[in-house]
Amino acid sequence: MEVKTIECKENFDITNMTTFKVGGIVKKIYFPTNQQEFVYLLQTIKNPLIIGGASNILFSSQGYDGVIISTVKMSQVSIRGTRVLAECGVKGPMASQAAYNAGLSGFEFMIGFPGTIGGNVFMNAGAHGQIISDTFIKACLYDLKSKEVVYIEKDKMGFGYRQSVLQDGKFILLGAEFELKKSNQSDIKNLMDRNLEFRKNIQPSLAYPNAGSVFKNPENDSAGRLLDKAGVKELCVDNVKVWDKHANFIVNTGHATSENVLELIYKMYNCVKETYTIELEPEIRFVGKKNKREEDICKQLYKKTLK
């Protein structure tokens, strides 16, 4: 295999690939279609950025000079009894629907998720009382140090609130295996419908470009509650505003830049800090080059990450 046989685009505008519809020019981006191609790229390219659905990422409007590998075309999911095997690029709704079709419960919470299995495991994503680590059995990973494919059981994954061992930068998820429970299809469908209805009523759909929750919940509290009580729903910056139904979401109302988005996130952060002396931690990751203002804001918002 050669790198040139794998789909690649240079000087690629990544804006429309992100759920925020914010971004710039990426130097080079690859689209592997299977595990073999993905592993080959990981063995060949030094320090690539891996993205899936780009649903919790704010890409810089100034662009990104590195190489990106997108897993969106790695979308195989299979069912073996009550086991679900999914490649890292499988979208949450696709996994949820596949489980429903097989009469399996445990993936209902992902029906409205724009992200992929890779991103969901990376963040240990969850909603509506379910989290992905609940059903997780083991992962197929690429070890960046040993440069080989390894398998890791759940107890070695370091799962916590919005945390996993994948965030340490040693492993890249290739695929994962889950153990779900047999259930009545009508019950599964009802739960999926309730989850979709909740998201429709409370959270913005992707018709309003957004990147999901802006901040992580602090321990024993809700970021949305704190933001709401701090009065952030009235806040807006050029082309971006706080969602009027949920204070922990912001939407791109026009042609927002990454600086516009960061400015609003920083205003929200400061409102809660001044009201409650609580410093919220962003759930959205910033990727790419920064201008002076963005550099200053990121130093404040991501100081825990930068330590």
Catalytic option among 177, 263, 283, 294: 283
Per-domain boundaries in the chain: 3-70, 77-199, 223-306
For residue 148, give both structure tokens.
Answer: 């080989």
Which class is domain 3-70? Answer: alpha beta
Per-residue pLDDT of the chain (307 residues), as tens digits, is 666 689 999 999 999 999 999 999 999 999 999 999 999 999 999 999 999 888 889 999 999 999 999 999 999 999 999 999 999 999 999 999 999 999 999 999 999 887 899 999 999 988 888 899 999 999 999 999 999 999 999 999 999 988 999 999 899 999 999 999 999 999 999 999 998 988 888 888 778 899 989 999 998 899 999 999 999 999 999 999 999 999 999 999 999 999 999 999 999 999 999 999 999 999 999 999 999 999 999 999 998 765 4
Catalytic option among 87, 213, 258, 259: 213
- pLDDT for 2 equals 64
- pLDDT for 162 equals 87
Please check whether residue 247 is in contact with residue 227, taking contact to mean a CB–CB distance below 8 angstroms: yes
Domain 3-70 shares a fold with domain 77-199: no
- Give long-range contacts, CB 8 A cutoff, 24+ apart: 70-74: 70/17, 70/29, 70/30, 70/31, 71/32, 71/38, 71/116, 71/118, 72/17, 72/31, 72/116, 73/7, 73/31, 73/32, 73/33, 74/32, 74/33, 74/34, 74/35, 74/38
Q: Say whether pTM exceeds 0.75.
A: yes
Strands 171-179 and 136-143 turn out to be: antiparallel
Backbone angles phi, psi at 198, to 5 degrees: -60, -50
194 an active-site residue?
no
Please check whether residue 90 is in contact with residue 178, taking contact to mean a CB–CB distance below 8 angstroms: no
162 an active-site residue?
yes
| CATH number of this structure's domain 77-199 | 3.30.465.10
Strands 57-59 and 285-287 turn out to be: parallel
- pLDDT for 307 equals 47
Catalytic option among 96, 162, 177, 259: 162
- pLDDT for 49 equals 94
| DSSP H stretches of helix in the chain | 35-44, 92-101, 117-123, 185-202, 223-229, 258-276, 292-301, 303-306
Residue for token digits 């200053």?
Answer: 296
- pLDDT for 3 equals 66
Backbone angles phi, psi at 275, to 5 degrees: -85, -40
Q: Sheet of 236-237: strands edge to edge?
A: 236-237, 240-242, 250-252
Of the candidates 265, 171, 162, 263, which has an alpha carbon nearest to the alpha carbon of residue 217? Answer: 162
The span from the CA of 217 to the CA of 10, in Å, is: 38
CATH 3.40.50.300 assigned to 223-306: no
Q: How far apart are the first and last CA of the chain?
A: 40
